[in-house]
A and B are shown apart, each in its own frame.
Chain A
Amino acid sequence: MRSVSVSFLSLNAWIVLLIAVLAFFVLYPIWLILLNSLYVETPEGMAFGFSIWREAFRQPGMADALINTIKVVATVQLISFPVAIAIAWVLARTDVPFARWIEFGFWASFLLPALATTTGWLLLLDPHYGLINRFLVDVGLFENSPFTLYSFWGIVFAHLVSNSISVKVMLLTPAFRNLNSTLEESSRICGANGYRAVMGIVLPLLTPVLLVTFLMSLIKGLEAFELELVLGAPIDFQVYSTKIYQVLRGSPPDYGTATVLAVAILLLMLPLVIFQQWATNRRSFVTVTGNHRQDAICLGSKRWPVFIVLAVLLSLTTVVPVIFQFAGSIMTLYGFFDLPQVWSLRHWVSAFEDRTFVGAFRNTLVLGSVTTTIGIILFAVIAYCSIHTRRSLRLSLDVLSWLPFMIPGVILGLSYLWFVLEVPVLTPLYGTMGVLVLVSLLAAVTLGVQLIRSAMLQLGADVEEAGRVVGGSWFRTFRSVLLPMISPTVAVVAIMIFAMTVRQVSTIVLLSTGSTTPLSVLQLEFLYGGALGPAAVVGTVVVIISLTAAAALVIIASRFRIGR
């Protein structure tokens, strides 16, 4: 693509500068943890060696933490993937009622914080006072509570009802929808029943998309932190990320072990990331056929039963936990229905009287809005530069904007802890909102740049060139032509960044201090400390913020027909 800048040289010089800055903020922190896991103190001074690694693996529970990590990720993905495929197929290809609304429901579910969902489900599945457990015991089906969220399967369940299924439904539904429906119909005509048509034709055709999604889910699954911390800690079930959190919370904090765990996980991820990149760059079959015709498959009499199954699944990930979290927030004692006064507003009252809560509320809004504002400008610039520069520079930009997506939140947080402490210029940032904004930007950069870039690419160079030809300056053209044309996408991206920032825990948990703690981390601390009532209040507030963002997303997306 041709550049429309005044001269190639000046634009490219700026891009090189941008790449250098990005590289510093993305690569250097990671380099630091790698360095610190190998840099050991010896009697003769600092030297490289493996003593930290040997030391770390001598600790109890290290191997378990790594094995548990793999166990949880594998189990969650193996269950959520087929379920998400089935849901996406039904939503995209059949005449199930209210398909669009259900799809939006899964978007909303994706935006709901995992901690909020878990808090809600705790009221139902807690081993002592969970409503479902108590009901099953009361009616005499079981002698003791059959379910508990504080277990391996409890953690798996919490993942399934929080984001694991919904994010895949979001990614796969458009893929199924874009597949030419006659390819499936022709296999029906040839004699395949519905199931065999999907298995024999649709899934093989979508293999590239499915593979990429699956690998990406595995990589993102390694991010898991807060659910394991809340549900695993009471039974001493550790994954690598909770182990990092634990060793850093000890006194003295064990930075050595934390960095070793982080590097070990990054090494484990490396083949996955390479495989995922290879799969992404392979040619996809789906684009080969033109002339798409979309005819929904008639479910006939199964139409409403299928709808009910979907609605139930969706409500398990949205309505049910949200309602029960709210219910928990207005109970005198979370989960106790036999007190003289079951309901009370005491948690809400004390929350709003509490400086910590009010501060956290303010922190959340500041963090969300500052990250969103800087993010949109920065991501638009990166996207613009990556379109308008030569191949070699574009490649570096793409890699740098994509890499942070692959780094698990806790590791990103850990690396930034080192980063701000070891780079003198940045040290004043420690303990401020500034460092939280920095990592939040990194956590959002991949998605933001991708979305804005594809919107810009769709416009093509000629609208911009036309703006220049009629006599506008570059800045004027950018402002009055380009920006308005991509503004619906920008609005969607802004809302997504905001919602992601508001609900994130793992990236900022190691970096937030007393005065900068946002609501999401506050909820984690309440849950970790067993204060379920206050946790439910905080969670409800975060949900309200997220749902407001989700509602805005739905309105903008349906008005501008994004994603269809």
Chain B
Amino acid sequence: MAEVTFRQALHDTLREELLRDENVFLMGEEIGVFEGSYKITAGLLKEFGSKRIVDTPISENGFVGLAAGAAMLGLRPVVEIMTINFIILAMDEIVNHAAKIYYMFGGQTPVPMVIRTPGGGGQQLSATHSQNLEVWFAHVPGLKVMAPATPHDAKGMLRTAIRDNNPVLFLENLALYNTKGEVADGDYTIPFGKAKVMKEGNDLTIVSYSRMATVALDVARRIERESGLSIEVVDLRSLRPLDKETIVNSVKKTNRAIVFEEDWRTYGIGAEIAALIQEDAFDYLDAPIKRVASVEVPLPYAKPLEIAALTSTKQLIDVINEIAPRRRRR
């Protein structure tokens, strides 16, 4: 066990996979000479050379499609999109091509590729640089979507993503890169569709993923210390496929659920989870399922407005107080 940053965990995993498999190569804007906009790929060009670490022009649809074509011939590209906002330019190659090729051609050629990209707001990057678009991808059959919350999970999940034979969206979060956590030794992997119960509890379930899962965990621990309310925190980790069983089992135990997400509320991940819970655990619910999400505006620049638009600890605590079992309300 060693404590490393999220950034280091990603870097180390990419390096290990490059060493492990000749067919793995990295591709993206500024990942080589510039060493990565967020320095995930620092040093890799020097170590592996320009054949394996491929700098691209600002041409997202072109190089994402190029990666998919290379994957059709058996390479295993790991593409970095500088931020998730720029992935919109590549939607045709991701949704119409990478996600469809295996099915549409009758299972003749898989497309083993990973697209890594950070999302998230809170850095005053304003409307076009602060989005959470995971639901766009989680909606599409043929894609797999992962969104780790901790350095340990980032490592095990990125290994799984790179070794998988399907197009995988691996969603990171800008505000997680400097966070630290214990990472296990050895070549462990974390499978798709396996949520993690980050903290067990009996009174209420918070379902979350990525950075918001870590925020939820902090809130749950604090409230438990302060008021004795026992909150279970479920980190989805994988958005497609989704681990329905862990979510439903948790709600059957606690009878209350909040979905905590950084994306917009309407048609968001929370809408899907809420629908799933009412379908499979309707009789167990003692309160309405709540969604705590960001408000529905393009994210503004001015700091007070940005703070007002993004969901955070305060919104989560308010909703916990609203639906917690009465005897335990603060």
Q: Is chain B a partner of chain A in the same complex?
A: no
On A, residues with C-beta under 8 Å from B are none
